[in-house]
Chain A
Amino acid sequence: MNAGTWARAKALFEQAMELPASERRAWLDRAGADADIAALVQTLIESTDTLDGFLESPPLVQPEDIAADDGWLRPGARIGDYSIVRKIAEGGMGVVYLARETSLGGRDVALKALPPATSADPVLRARLKLEAEAMGKINHPAVATVYAFKEIDGQIFIASEYVDGRSLRELIKEGPLPQERAVELALEIADALNEAHAAGVVHRDLKPDNVLLTKRGGVKVVDFGIARVISHGGPDLTVPGYAIGTPAYMAPEQFLGGPVDARADLYSLGVVLTEMLTGRRRSEDGVPSLPARIAPIVRRCLQHDPAARFASAATFREALLTQRKGESRDRWWWRFHQAATIVAYALLLMPAWLVRRAVSGPTIGGLAGRWLFVVVLAAGIVAITLRLHLLFVSRAGARAVEQQRRLSASSLRAADLAFAAGLVVSGLFVENLQAPLAVLLIGAGAAAGVSALVIEPATLRAAFDEETTVEGSTSR
């Protein structure tokens, strides 16, 4: 077969396959191709009928093709003081086993080693040693404690605190976190980073996979595998051809291989916070929308220029704490307003009741006042009940309020306006005798209207801010 023959056969084959199966043969005969090419195409067409999934399923690896000793530590294996329980994580930079320390009453440790394929690589060995050193410098409850760095039978290991819990990645997979929880976690991570930075260590690979959640609800930042010890002045083991980190979480300067400091971690933390709140990262298509109060903080983390970000994890924490404080103050105001409205509505039913007989309206025989009171009473009860409901669900967080408010917004507004209008009308038609009450009713009705139309939307917006979009300073 030569390329020219094949190319002609290919052209015929493709045209023939466009036709219904029954017409292909006749078409091929009419096409006037060389006999051998036509025959080839005919055979190929027939062959397509018998493909039946041929090459559609992946090649199967034969068990005998796999070397028995692949270098991994099996459960039960003994390495010095440690007895391997199982492998818990694996990646290009290392493998982590759960092991039991036999000499010290059998405490669990996380044993990190290099993957067998790279266990002799001097660069990776140096990096693992550096990781142990970096972790050893940090003393913080949110950073796993290093117990030992050992070389056993030519293999090197870091033994550190074993964290029994799942990763933030797994939590995010279940959906976006409630804002309160996301902020709480971001504060804890920032605190751990702050401690690391103070010790001269930049993590450089912060991502949800590297944040573990302990069973007690705390946070442990792990995998300082590519951390850089700044004060070291020593080698930054980023060898050309081995650029490291995880692109989606990487600060631009790190991505481009430039000098990296604490602010690179804050960039990553900004991406992580976005992902906690929305379930998505900013680099994916579209820009996720964030709560308006948090958006500027995230935006500042995600600045292209490190100088435009927060100067340290501590200032990031302060910004987030201030935000949280402001939010709880605004929520207090909203709650106060709701409660005050409920009380005022209830009290106003009294004068409305008192004037019902004094109202002389253009209706039949004194009925106007009574009907007006029924309207005010019904509207008042609806408005009070809905407000009590909103107050109650507000304990479950912003999202619950938003949802319930959307459901009840139109009924609540209708009830408020009916209540206000009822009061004003009652006031207008009260006979002169009751002048002070009439003024009270008109004034209260007007106030209720203004409150429902102007004040309440404002307190609500401040307390449960609407979503906003983070415009990244730059996109890559």
Chain B
Amino acid sequence: MSDRPEFHLLPIVYDELRRIAARYIGGERPGQTLQATALVNEAFLQMSAEKTRQFQNRAHFVAIAALSMRQILVQRARARNAAKRRPGGERVPFDENVLSVPHPNGRANDIDLEALDDALSRLAEFDPEQARIVELRYFGGLTIEETAEAVGVSPATIKRQWVMARAWLKLQMESA
């Protein structure tokens, strides 16, 4: 991409968002493309609502896309959790979706995004860089190398920080 500040390539933004969303959905089951598309549309709307925002390079863009995706997913998770907590609210006696959805890679994915978001926000208070690494890796789907490029440090540093941040986040989420 050019380093001209107004460089903001609409189709590329869209394709990049699709790449990230496709990762969340995984697999090839029917209906999933639609889910990815809906997510992309929402993130796209959110991002293009701020038309003044200018991307310096791809890493910068992915960072912002990852943030958008994080906000959307967490907001959804909060709404869902709130509905469950409300007495007499939506009755979900046994939420099989949340408890044990088989993940595309075979592992049950039971991460409470609301709790993760809270923990991540706390981490950002005393180590913004580690929080950003988690955001890029987990929500943005970047590899260690890509994250290193985006953050501007060596892949080895990213690897160490990534382990430490996860160790801390896991402790936080378990004690929550």
Q: Footprint of B on A, CB under 8 Å?
A: 1-3, 5-6, 10, 13-14, 17, 43-45, 47-48, 50-51, 53-55, 57-67, 70-72, 90-93, 115-118, 240-247, 255-257
Contacts and interface: CB of A to CB of B under 8 A. Distances in A.
A1 B35 contact: no
Interface in B103-149: 103-105, 107, 109, 111, 113, 116, 122, 125-127, 134, 137-139, 141
Given A59-B138, A91-B15, A65 B171 contact: no
B61 interface: no
Contacts of A58: 23-24, 26, 138, 141
A93 B13 CA distance: 11
A48 B167 contact: yes
B166 interface: yes
A74 to B, nearest CB: 8
Interface of B is mostly: helix
Task: Provide the main secondary structure of the chain A interface.
Answer: loop
B35 A244 contact: no
A247 B1 contact: yes
Contacts of A117: 40-42, 44-45, 48
Nearest to A241: B8
List of 10 A-B pairs having minimum Cβ-Cβ separation, nearest first: A92-B14, A92-B11, A70-B38, A47-B167, A117-B41, A65-B76, A60-B109, A3-B126, A92-B10, A44-B167
Nearest to A69: B38
B67 interface: no
Nearest to A51: B166
Interface residues of B, number: 66
Interface string B1-21: 110101111111111000001
Interface in B35-54: 35, 37-42, 44-45, 48, 51-52, 54
A1 B13 contact: no
Contacts of B2: 247, 255-256
Contact of A243 (B6, B44, B105, B168): B6
Max chain B CB contacts within 10 Å: which of A10, A60, A115?
A60
A198 to B, nearest CB: 27
A406 B104 CA distance: 49
A62 B127 contact: no
Nearest to B36: A61
A55 B134 contact: yes
Contacts of B11: 91-93, 244, 246
Nearest to B20: A58
Contact of B111 (A55, A118, A257): A55
A243 B127 contact: no
15 contacts: A3-B127, A14-B164, A47-B170, A47-B171, A48-B163, A51-B163, A55-B134, A55-B166, A62-B80, A65-B80, A66-B39, A93-B10, A117-B44, A244-B10, A257-B4
A6 B76 contact: no
B176 interface: no
A289 to B, nearest CB: 27
Interface of B: 1-2, 4, 6-15, 21, 23-26, 31, 34-35, 37-42, 44-45, 48, 51-52, 54, 73, 76-77, 80, 97-98, 101, 103-105, 107, 109, 111, 113, 116, 122, 125-127, 134, 137-139, 141, 160, 163-164, 166-171
Contacts, number: 153
Given A71-B41, A243-B6, A244-B11, A59 B167 contact: no
A240 B6 contact: yes
Contacts of A61: 21, 24-25, 35, 39, 73
Contacts of A10: 127, 164
A57 B8 contact: no
Given A44-B167, A62-B77, 18 more contacts: A1-B122, A6-B126, A54-B169, A54-B170, A55-B137, A55-B169, A58-B138, A60-B24, A60-B101, A64-B80, A66-B35, A70-B38, A91-B11, A117-B44, A117-B48, A241-B51, A244-B10, A257-B6
B109 A51 contact: no
B41 A17 contact: no
A220 B32 CA distance: 31
B142 to A, nearest CB: 11
A242 B163 contact: no
Candidate in A1, A64, A90, A255 with the most chain B CB atoms within 10 angstroms = A64
A240 B14 CA distance: 17
Contacts of A66: 34-35, 38-39
Contacts of B160: 14, 17
B24 A59 contact: yes
Contacts of B25: 61
Contact of A51 (B97, B101, B170): B170
B30 to A, nearest CB: 11
A154 B168 CA distance: 51
Contacts of A67: 38
Contacts of B116: 55
A25 to B, nearest CB: 15
Nearest to A9: B164
Nearest to A53: B107
Of A13, A59, A64, A245, chain B has the most CB atoms within 10 Å of the CB of A59
B73 A47 contact: no
Contact of B54 (A53, A64, A241, A256): A241
Contacts of A118: 44, 48
Nearest to B72: A65
A59 B134 contact: no
Contact of B138 (A48, A55, A63, A90): A55
Given A3-B126, A14-B160, A47-B167, A64 B97 contact: yes
A50 B103 contact: no
B143 to A, nearest CB: 12
Nearest to B6: A240
Contact of A44 (B105, B127, B164): B164
